[in-house]
């Protein structure tokens, strides 16, 4: 039996009260707030004392749904300065793995450590150090950009001048100034992605987990988001999932390819491309049972 046969203790949580988090009494708040549950913690900022510090350690991680292993004995480590592209076909286990790293899902087996804090044993401390952009960029559609970021800042425990300073900083970094007073529902998908990225970095976390941050964007919007990711990568850990291989070539210094819940490659894009184009290597590793021969 592999590591997925073992059980684990349930994940502790510190959920946000979705009703008290809603400012306008609207009916869509609960679902969105649940997507962010546990992420709004006070004093989220952290100072990194050492360059190239190991920040994420994933050991024998497994997740089963019924009799199906969505993630099967996955292990890897990530250090400061790594920009890790997480690749795999649909249903390979990318999103499930990222949700377990962030504490959104409880592993069936295995463990995740974030900056030395076990995600199950110390979920609040682990989450303070992570900025999370979930897939589909959830937010409150009827809030303005500024009001939404103010809400996030307050849930993170920031007030007064510090709150204002952080809001202004992320608005500038994510190029949101000329839409800051628009309601989120009026924004293009590209701008909605930027708003959700802004909430993920508002507390200046050392780790960014981005689930398909350019999905559905046009080429110009993708370029802007890639530039923002690259600009933040030098002093952070960045893990992002994508189906776009050119993004991995452009901004990643490391690539993990996952197929059928297992890691089939963990290398730099340059090393992988010694075996062919990244597209060729990806298809070979994710469509054949004999991945060791690739």
Q: Where are the domains of the chain?
A: 53-293
Q: How many angstroms separate the Cα of 27 from the Cα of each of 24, 37, 109, 134, 151?
A: 9, 17, 36, 21, 17
Short-list 223, 260, 208, CA closest to 101: 208
Q: Residue 1 has what pLDDT?
A: 53
- Which three-class secondary structure state does DSSP give residue 259? strand
Q: Kindly give the confidence (pLDDT) of every residue in the chain, 294 residues in length, as a single tens digit, with 9 standing for 90 and above.
A: 555 654 333 333 333 333 333 334 344 444 444 444 444 443 333 333 333 466 899 999 999 998 889 999 999 999 888 899 999 998 899 999 999 999 989 999 999 999 999 999 999 999 999 999 988 777 899 999 999 999 999 999 999 999 999 999 999 989 899 999 999 999 998 899 899 999 999 999 999 999 988 887 888 888 888 888 888 887 889 999 988 888 898 889 999 999 999 999 999 999 999 998 899 999 999 985 444 444
What is the fold, at CATH topology level, of the domain defined by 53-293? Rossmann fold (3.40.50)
- Dihedral sign for Cα atoms in the order 174, 176, 177, 178: positive
- The β-bridge partners of 113 are 57, 118
Report the length, in residues, of the chain.
294
Instruction: Give the 3-state secondary structure of residue 77.
Output: strand
Sequence-separated contacts (24+) of 259-263 with Cβ below 8 Å: 259/88, 259/89, 259/92, 259/285, 259/286, 259/291, 260/72, 260/92, 260/93, 261/69, 261/70, 261/71, 261/72, 261/74, 261/92, 261/93, 262/72, 262/73, 262/74, 262/93, 263/74, 263/75, 263/76
Report the C-alpha gap between 118 and 99 in whole angstroms.
Answer: 14
Give the per-residue pLDDT at 8.
Answer: 35
**Alpha carbon of residue 280 to chain centroid:** 26
How many whole angstroms separate alpha carbon 283 and alpha carbon 277?
Answer: 10
């Amino acid at each position: 039996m592999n590591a997925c046969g073992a059980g684990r203790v349930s994940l502790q949580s510190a959920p946000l009260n979705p009703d008290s988090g809603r400012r306008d009494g609207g009916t869509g708040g609960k679902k969105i707030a649940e997507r962010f549950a546990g992420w709004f913690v006070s004093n989220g900022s952290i100072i990194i004392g050492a360059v190239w510090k190991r920040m994420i350690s994933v050991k024998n991680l497994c997740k089963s749904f019924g009799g199906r292993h969505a993630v099967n004995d996955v292990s890897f480590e990530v250090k400061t300065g790594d920009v890790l592209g997480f690749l795999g076909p649909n249903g390979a286990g990318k999103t499930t793995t990222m949700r377990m790293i962030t504490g959104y899902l409880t592993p069936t087996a295995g463990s995740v450590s974030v900056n030395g804090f076990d995600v199950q044993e110390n979920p609040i401390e682990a989450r303070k150090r992570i900025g999370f952009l979930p897939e589909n960029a959830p937010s409150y559609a009827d809030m303005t950009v500024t009001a939404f970021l103010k809400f996030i800042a307050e849930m993170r425990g920031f007030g007064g001048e510090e709150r204002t300073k952080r809001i202004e900083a992320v608005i500038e970094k994510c190029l949101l100034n000329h839409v800051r007073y628009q309601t989120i529902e009026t924004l293009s998908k590209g701008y909605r992605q930027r708003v959700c990225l802004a909430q993920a970095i508002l507390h200046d976390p050392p780790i960014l987990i981005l689930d398909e941050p350019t999905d559905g964007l046009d080429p110009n919007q993708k370029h802007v988001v890639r530039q923002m990711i690259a600009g933040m990568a030098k002093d952070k850990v960045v893990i992002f999932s994508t189906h776009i291989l050119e993004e991995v070539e452009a901004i990643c210094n490391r690539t993990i390819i996952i197929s059928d819940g297992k890691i089939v490659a963990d290398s730099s894009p340059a090393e992988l491309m010694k075996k062919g184009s990244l597209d060729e290597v990806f298809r070979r590793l994710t469509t054949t049972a004999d991945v060791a021969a690739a």
